Structures are given as C-alpha cells and as structure tokens.
C-alpha cells in the first residue's frame, strides 16, 4: 500500500509535465516560463469553453473573470498603486471622451509655458479581452506618462460579445477626435505637434485604422504626429503567410485562436474557422478581391527573403465559390484591415514605429505594413525582436516577467522619447 502514493504522485507529475510541455524553437529564451504561461492560458480557454457548453456563461465572460481574478491577486503584491506608488506624481482620472470611457494619466506639472507630449493608447486582447485599468497596461501607461512627461489617454472601447465591428473602431475614432481637438489639447497643456496614437495587437489594428482616418480627414486641424504599433493585426485575407504557418502553435496566440478573434470581431459564423484557415474565404472566385487588392498583402513581394522560410508564393484557392465576402463584408473594410488601404491613404499617415516578433503569427502583418508605408513615402522604424513572441510587451512584472518583454517596452519608450 505504501507504493500507491508514490505511483499516484509520479503519474500526476508525468501527466502535468505532458500537459505543460510543448516544443518551442531554440530562439525563444525562458522556454519553461512560456510553457507554464501557455498551459495556464489553455486551461482557462478549456474551462471557459466547457462552461459555455454547459450554458453557465459565455466563454469570453468566463475568460475575463479568470484573468481579472489572477490580476487582482497579483495587484495586491506588485501593482504601482499597492507599492506606495512607483510613479507617485502621475495623476490618474477615469472620465469620458465623446461618451467613450478613458483613463487619463497626467505627469507632474512642469514649469509654466512648457507643453507636454500626448499619447492615445488602445489595448490589445482580440477585440474581446483586456482593459485599460488592469494589469500591465496600467503600469506601462504610468511609466510612459512619468518618464516622458506625457499625457496618456488609454481608451476603454467596447468589446465582443457586447459589440462587433465597427463599434470598437468607432469608439476609438470618437475618442481620438475629441483628444485632438484644440480645446482638449490646451486643457492638458499638450503640444499639438507632439501627439501619438499607439496600441498593441488588436489595439495596434485600431491605432493604424484611426491614424489612417485622422490623417485623411481634412476637417481636422490637428493630426497625430506619430503612430506606434506593437505587433499589430492588420488583415484577415491570408492566414497562410509564412509567420502564420511558422508560428501556428507558438504561445500565446495560436493560429486558430487568431482566426476565431477575427470571426468574432466581424460578426461572422464561428463555424467558418476551418474555411478561413485554408484561405477559402479569399479564393479567386471572390471577384471583389481584385489583383490590385491582393497585391497589398502579397508577402512574396513585401517580405524580405529571410522571412519567407522557403515559401514561394501566397496560398490562393482557385475552386472555392462560396460568397464569403458578401457574408463577411468587413474582410475588405480598411477600417478593420488597415493593410488593405490604398497607397494614397498610407502616404498621408504620420511617422511610424512598428514592433514585430519573430515567433508571432502576426509578424508578417507588421512587416508588410512597414514596407507598404515606406513605399508610400512614410518614415518607418522597424523594431524586430528575434527572440520575441506575441504578447511579450505586456509581460514585464513577476511572475509573468520576460527579459524580451522588458527590452521591447524599453525600445518603445526610447523611440517615443526620441521621435515624439
């Protein structure tokens, strides 16, 4: 009988190790930490899906509750607020801009007559998760405000399943126009020549789309000076780019999950996921997808050879005849897919900073956008992390602390320091 506890312990250990372990490329540092993070995220997704199947709660709501609960525990030990204020001079206000909830971070008051920088930030989370007020987004925005003497406005746009595209985009655009009004900039003592729009992942998508709209709106007297995009998601026509295939199983953004985020955002039937994964939705039978439009995301032309990974040309399906574009019109809407914008639109955009990670399904979206902006005459800084993975920018606090995340955040802050 004494042998039984040993057998049970060993069996459980092996089972847990089998669940946690996933093969990762040698280029990813701190692999076991990433495996544990991924195991926790997968467990959250599995439990949320089970609760949804049982009719207990919507799975997105369950994921939010799980992540917020974890953040609440961590906040008691590691947040800037609970530690007595790592940035004690930063004033935080929760208000609304044009009816949209925002959190405003104001640095300590400077000398009379000194104008400050301004940054509008959109958080990531697949247009379904995340908040300006919780986790590392709050910490990062406090840091930017304090270190750069910057007024940061972080937007709490509405999320799926409460709303779909274009509502999150419209929330961000309304808040941006309000922020850029001369009256609001004067109220916060912001230099109208030094205002940035920024975001990560889905927030990078929103930042790019808002930057395009504002830059091409002749009625606005103040425009964004720079756009800083952190591994942005920019198109939904090709889920077989080299980075989507290379990194399809790399934490924390697996390829099927990104497709699901897109389907949710565009209010499409989730059963279409398998069709989208093989690019049936962008087949040659989709007459609305013209050759000129396809050229705007032709990675065989837009990517450097080292990123093509021996692939020769994009996967374009010839025989699928279903009218996906009519079923999901947002696929071709540049407000949802900024990479599809015309060169004339891109040319009016502000200087850009685009952060990409080698081990990220969205790597090629960012690299292609950088190339298209450069071809349109926009000054672009491409900041590529060879050991980076999706989400690393947010993992800067123990126990979810990665060296590449701290380096990525520092690179972002330094770029704003020198370019805004």
Residue range 47-93, pLDDT digits in tens: 878 877 887 788 788 888 877 655 544 444 444 443 334 577 899 99
- Residues above pLDDT 90, as percent of the chain: 73
Is 243 a residue of the active site? no
395 versus 56: which is more confidently predicted? Answer: 395
Which among 91, 87, 37, 349 has a CA at the least distance from the CA of 211?
349
Is 360 a residue of the active site? yes
Which among 228, 173, 208 has a CA at the least distance from the CA of 339?
208
Are the C-beta atoms of residues 141 and 310 closer than 8 Å to each other? no
In the set 79, 145, 390, 394, the catalytic residue is 390
Alpha-carbon distances of 41 from 47, 67, 160, rounded to whole Å: 10, 9, 19
- What are the residues facing 118 on neighbouring strands? 151, 195
pLDDT at 206 over 80: yes
- The pLDDT of residue 77 is 42
Alpha-carbon distances of 267 from 167, 264, 326, 365, rounded to whole Å: 11, 5, 13, 22
The most confident of 51-55, 181-185, 308-312, by mean pLDDT: 181-185
Domain boundaries, the chain: 77-236+331-419
What band does 114 get if pLDDT is binned at 50, 70 and 90? confident
Mean pLDDT of the chain: 90
Are the C-beta atoms of residues 231 and 357 closer than 8 Å to each other? yes
Residue 300 CB neighbours (<10 A): 12
**Separation of alpha carbons 303 and 156, rounded Å:** 34
Instruction: Show the DSSP H helices in 188-333 as ranges.
Output: 202-215, 242-246, 255-265, 273-277, 291-295, 299-302, 324-327
Cβ partners under 8 Å of residue 237, min gap 6: 279, 281, 282, 289, 294, 297, 331, 337, 340
- The pLDDT of residue 81 is 42
- The pLDDT of residue 68 is 66
- The pLDDT of residue 113 is 60
- What are the residues facing 197 on neighbouring strands? 120, 227
CATH topology of domain 77-236+331-419: Rossmann fold (3.40.50)
- The pLDDT of residue 86 is 56
Which is it for strands 226-230 and 150-155: parallel, antiparallel or unpaired? unpaired
- The pLDDT of residue 389 is 97
pLDDT at 295 over 70: yes
- The pLDDT of residue 66 is 76
In the set 62, 79, 80, 201, the catalytic residue is 201
Residue 39 CB neighbours (<10 A): 16
DSSP three-state, residue 155 = strand
292 versus 73: which is more confidently predicted? Answer: 292
- The pLDDT of residue 73 is 43
The most confident of 23-27, 111-115, 230-234, 327-331, by mean pLDDT: 230-234
User: 7-21: per-residue pLDDT in tens?
Assistant: 555 555 556 666 878
- What are the residues facing 94 on neighbouring strands? 103
Structure tokens at 27: 């280029």
User: 226-271: per-residue pLDDT in tens?
Assistant: 999 999 999 999 999 999 999 999 999 999 999 999 999 999 999 9
In the set 138, 146, 171, 360, the catalytic residue is 360
Are the C-beta atoms of residues 356 and 363 closer than 8 Å to each other? yes
Is 201 a residue of the active site? yes
User: 361-387: per-residue pLDDT in tens?
Assistant: 999 999 999 999 999 999 999 999 999
Are the C-beta atoms of residues 218 and 327 closer than 8 Å to each other? no
């Amino acid at each position: 009988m004494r042998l039984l506890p040993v057998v049970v312990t060993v069996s459980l250990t092996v089972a847990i190790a089998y669940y946690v372990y996933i093969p990762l490329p040698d280029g990813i540092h701190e692999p076991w930490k990433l495996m544990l993070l991924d195991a926790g995220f997968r467990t959250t997704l599995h439990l949320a899906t089970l609760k949804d199947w049982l009719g207990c709660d919507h799975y997105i709501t369950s994921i939010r509750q799980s992540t917020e609960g974890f953040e609440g525990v961590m906040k008691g030990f590691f947040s800037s607020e609970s530690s007595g204020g790592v940035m004690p001079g930063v004033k935080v206000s929760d208000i609304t801009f044009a009816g949209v909830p925002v959190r405003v971070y104001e640095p300590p008051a400077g000398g009379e007559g000194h104008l400050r920088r301004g940054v509008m930030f959109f958080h990531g989370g697949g247009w379904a998760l995340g908040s300006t007020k919780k986790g590392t987004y709050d910490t990062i925005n406090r840091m930017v405000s304090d270190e750069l003497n910057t007024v940061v406005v972080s937007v709490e746009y509405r999320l799926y399943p409460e709303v779909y595209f274009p509502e999150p985009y419209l929330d961000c655009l309304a808040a941006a126009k309000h922020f850029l009004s001369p009256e609001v900039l004067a109220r916060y003592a912001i230099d109208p020549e030094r205002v940035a729009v920024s975001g990560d992942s889905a927030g990078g998508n929103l930042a790019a789309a808002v930057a395009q709209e504002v830059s091409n709106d002749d009625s606005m007297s103040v425009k964004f000076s720079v756009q800083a995009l952190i591994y942005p998601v920019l198109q939904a026509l090709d889920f077989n780019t080299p980075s989507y295939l290379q990194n399809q199983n790399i934490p924390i953004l697996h390829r099927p999950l990104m497709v699901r985020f897109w389907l949710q955002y565009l209010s499409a039937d989730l059963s279409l996921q398998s069709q989208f994964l093989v690019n049936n939705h962008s087949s040659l039978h989709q007459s609305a997808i013209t050759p000129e439009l396809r050229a705007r995301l032709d990675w065989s032309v837009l990517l450097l050879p080292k990123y093509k990974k021996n692939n020769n040309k994009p996967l374009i399906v010839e025989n699928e005849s279903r009218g996906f574009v009519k079923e999901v019109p947002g696929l071709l809407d540049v407000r949802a897919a900024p990479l599809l914008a015309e060169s004339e639109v891109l040319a009016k955009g502000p200087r850009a900073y685009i952060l990409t990670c080698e081990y990220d399904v969205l790597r090629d979206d960012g690299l292609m956008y950088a190339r298209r902006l450069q071809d349109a005459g926009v000054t672009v800084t491409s900041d590529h992390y060879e050991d980076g993975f999706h989400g690393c920018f947010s993992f800067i606090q123990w126990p979810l602390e990665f060296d590449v995340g701290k380096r990525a955040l520092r690179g972002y802050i330094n770029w704003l320091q020198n370019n805004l």
